[in-house]
Amino acid sequence: DRLDVLALARAGGELGASDPIGRYARLSDAGVPGGAEHGVIWRAQAELRGEGARAVPWLHLQANAVLSLTCQRCLQAVETPLEVDRWFRFVADEATAEAEDEDSEEDVLALEPRPSLRELVEDELLMALPLVPMHEECPAPLPLP
């Protein structure tokens, strides 16, 4: 399940899947127990930018899911769409990634150890969770104190 980003970028490759949300334990745990079952749809496209030895692998990740969360107003389930559309630049190792990530506008990740694409999808979808999930209009009147 580990991705060779450099090989995929050299091939100009693309990967994608539609997975059940249960395959992403942390994301599934963030939802309401017994909530509607939705899937995670993702696509990753790799490319090299630059020429020759200076070519740098990049990964474009797109993912979406719908998660049943608890509305913080009415405490009922609210179907919450999550969307990710991000670019990642890859460097040789963790130390380089850590050093360059602070000063870069883009996200910088390490080629080694090879990243898990599904873990990256899950991490990005978790970061897309709203801080305070709410219905635009709650389905039932709110109780008065």
Q: Nearest 5 degrees, angle CA 107-CA 60-CA 104?
A: 20
Instruction: Work out the pLDDT band at 103, boundaries 50, 70, 90.
Output: confident
Residue 56 pLDDT exceeds 80: yes
Rounded Cα gap, residues 44 and 47, in angstroms: 10
Per-residue pLDDT, averaged over 14-34, amounts to 89
Per-residue pLDDT, averaged over 69-96, amounts to 93
Q: Which residue has the higher pLDDT, 32 or 27?
A: 27
Which pLDDT value is given to residue 23?
Answer: 92
Which residue's entry shows tokens 């919450």? 80
Q: In angstroms, how far apart are the furthest CA atoms of the chain?
A: 68
Which pLDDT value is given to residue 53?
Answer: 81
Which residue's entry shows tokens 């009415």? 74
Per-residue pLDDT, averaged over 6-15, amounts to 95
Question: Which run of H or of E encompasses 34?
Answer: none
Chain-wide mean pLDDT for the chain?
Answer: 91
